[in-house]
A and B are shown apart, each in its own frame.
Chain A
Amino acid sequence: MEHTEHILSYGKLTAVWVALLVLTAATIMVTRFELGVWKVWAALAIASVKSGLVIAFFMHMKYEPRLFRIILFVALFTLAGFIGGTFFDVLYR
C-alpha cells in the first residue's frame, strides 16, 4: 500500500463539527443583513469553507494521496465549466 492508514481522533472530528456549527451560525447571521449580491457570495463562500472542512476531515481527503485531490479538482472544474458556459448565453441574451 502506498500510505500508512491515518486514523482521525474523536477529538479532532468533534472540533471540525464545532467549526461547522459555528460557520452555520455565521452564515445565518451574515445573510440577515441586506448586503445585496454580496449576500449570495458571502453565503457561498462560507458554504465552500464548510464543504472544504467536510471533504478534508470527515472524508479524509487531507490524508489521501494527491491523485484524489487532482481528480476532485477536475470534477469541480468541469462543473464550473458547465455553469460558466451556460452563462455565456444566459447573461448576454
Chain B
Amino acid sequence: MSHAEKDSFGAKLGMWLFLFTEMLLFGGVFILYSVYLTRYPKEFGLGGHQLDLVFGATNTVVLLTSSLFAAMSVTAIKRGAKQLTLGLLSGTIGCALIFLFIKYLEWSAKFHHGIYPNSPKLIAGPPGESIFFSLYYLTTGLHGIHVIIGGILMTWTAVMVQKGMLNSADNVTLENVTLYWHLVDLVWIFIFPLYYLIL
C-alpha cells in the first residue's frame, strides 16, 4: 500500500472501530439500566409512565428520517449530484435541530414538574425512581451531546461538499460522518423502547 493514495477502505475500518467504542460507551449505561431495571421494576414502571410517549415517538420518526436523508446523501454524492447532496445534508441537520428542540421541550416540562437530578422531589421519592430519572437524564443527555456533535460534523462536511473538496470520487469523509450519524440513530432505537415503551 503506497503512502500517497487514499485508503478509503482503511478510513471506513477506522471509523467502524471508533463506532464500536461509542457503542460500548453507551453500553456502559445500558449495563446500569439493565441491572437497576431488574432491581426496581416497579419504580421504573412508575417513572416510565411519566415520560411523554408523544415526544418520544415523534423524535424517533424525526431521527429515522434524518438517517434516511443522511444515507441518501451518500448515494447523491456518489452519483455526482452536488446540489441534491447539499439539500439532503441540510435535511439531516434540520432534523437534528428539530430533535434537539423537542428534547428541550421534553426536558423543560420535566424540570417544571420538579423532576431533575438531585431535585427535592426525587430525593423524597422512592429510591428506584431517582435512579430511573438519573439514568434517563444521563442517557438522553449523552445522546443529545452526540446529536450536537453529529450536527456539527454534518455542517462541516456540507461546507466541504460545497467547496468541492468532497465529490463523487473522494467522499469517504461524508460516508464516515453519516456512519456516525447512523450510530446516533441506532442508540436512539434502543433508548426509545427502553425508556418510553416497555415500562
Residues of B within 8 A of A (CB-CB), count: 44
Q: Which residues of B (11-70) have their CB < 8 Å from a CB of A?
A: 12-13, 16-17, 20, 23-24, 27, 30-31, 34-35, 38-39, 53, 57, 60-61, 64-65, 67-68, 70
**Does B30 lie within 8 Å of A7, measured CB to CB?**
no
- Given A7-B78, A13-B68, A20-B64, answer yes or no on A51-B23 (Cβ-Cβ < 8 Å): no
Q: How far is the CA of A86 from the CA of B38 in the complex (A)?
A: 12
- Interface 9-residue window, one of B96-104, B143-151, B189-197: B189-197
A68's partner among B13, B60, B189, B193 (CB-CB below 8 A) is B13
- Number of A positions contacting B (CB below 8 A): 46
Instruction: Please report A residues at the B interface, Cβ cutoff 8 Å.
Output: 1-2, 5, 7-10, 13-14, 16-17, 20-21, 24, 27-28, 31, 39-40, 43-44, 46-47, 50-51, 54-55, 57-60, 64, 67-68, 71-72, 75-76, 78-79, 82-83, 86-87, 90-91
Q: Is the CB of A71 within 8 A of B35?
A: no
> Quick one: given A47-B190, A54-B67, are A31 and B198 in contact (CB under 8 Å)?
yes
Binding site for A on B (CB under 8 A): 8-9, 12-13, 16-17, 20, 23-24, 27, 30-31, 34-35, 38-39, 53, 57, 60-61, 64-65, 67-68, 70-72, 74-75, 78-79, 175, 178-179, 182, 185-186, 189-190, 192-194, 197-198
